[in-house]
Amino acid sequence: MGRSSTAARQFASRARHRVQAPGNTADAERTIQRTVVRAFLAASRNGDFEALVELLDPDAVIRADSVAVQAGASSEVRGAGAVAATFSGRTRAAKLVLLDGFAGAVWAPVGRPRVVFGFAIQEGKIVEIELLADPEQLRRLDLATADT
């Protein structure tokens, strides 16, 4: 799938929930995801390191694709403190979006997506953030504006 094992497990978990659970459970999961991602973006913009750490699983990881790495991102960052430090005071221009139906974020200067942030969330904590900047991959994503 071109995804990390954590992200693949998250997608599989979401699929199981969709198949096994009534519609309101999936809606509740999406609401939690939006709340967590919205809080993450706000804490990041405000440079609130402690709030960022609270939103992250202790073993949280950032994974970046090769294009994001070429643009200056680290290919991988591990641990809540390191992930929080990476995002603290940033994402000012990132917007909350639905990424294939799930909460994500996009940095889209002049309306053109340059980096998409995919979030894997378990039990209300961010376990993985995937940075996608490959233009070919970005064109294939289903991005929709999330209600604020």
- CA-nearest of 50, 127, 131 to 91 is 131
pTM greater than 0.75: yes
**Could you tell me the CATH number of the domain that includes residue 50?**
3.10.450.50
Does the pLDDT at position 129 exceed 70? yes
pLDDT score at 52: 96
pLDDT digit string, tens, across residues 81-127 = 999 999 998 888 899 998 877 889 999 888 889 999 999 999 999 99
pLDDT digit string, tens, across residues 16-74 = 555 455 555 677 888 899 999 999 999 999 999 999 999 999 999 999 999 999 999 99
pLDDT score at 18: 52
For 37, the domain range is 5-145
Instruction: Please state, in angstroms and rounded to a whole number, the distance separating the CA atoms of residues 143 and 37.
Output: 15
pLDDT score at 1: 47
Q: 34 or 7, which is more confident?
A: 34
Does the pLDDT at position 13 exceed 90? no
Is the CB of residue 121 less than 8 Å from the CB of residue 56?
no
Confidence of residue 7 (pLDDT cuts 50, 70, 90): low
> Cα angle vertex 52, ends 137, 1, to 5°?
25
Number of domains, the chain: 1
Instruction: Please state, in angstroms and rounded to a whole number, the distance separating the CA atoms of residues 44 and 84.
Output: 8
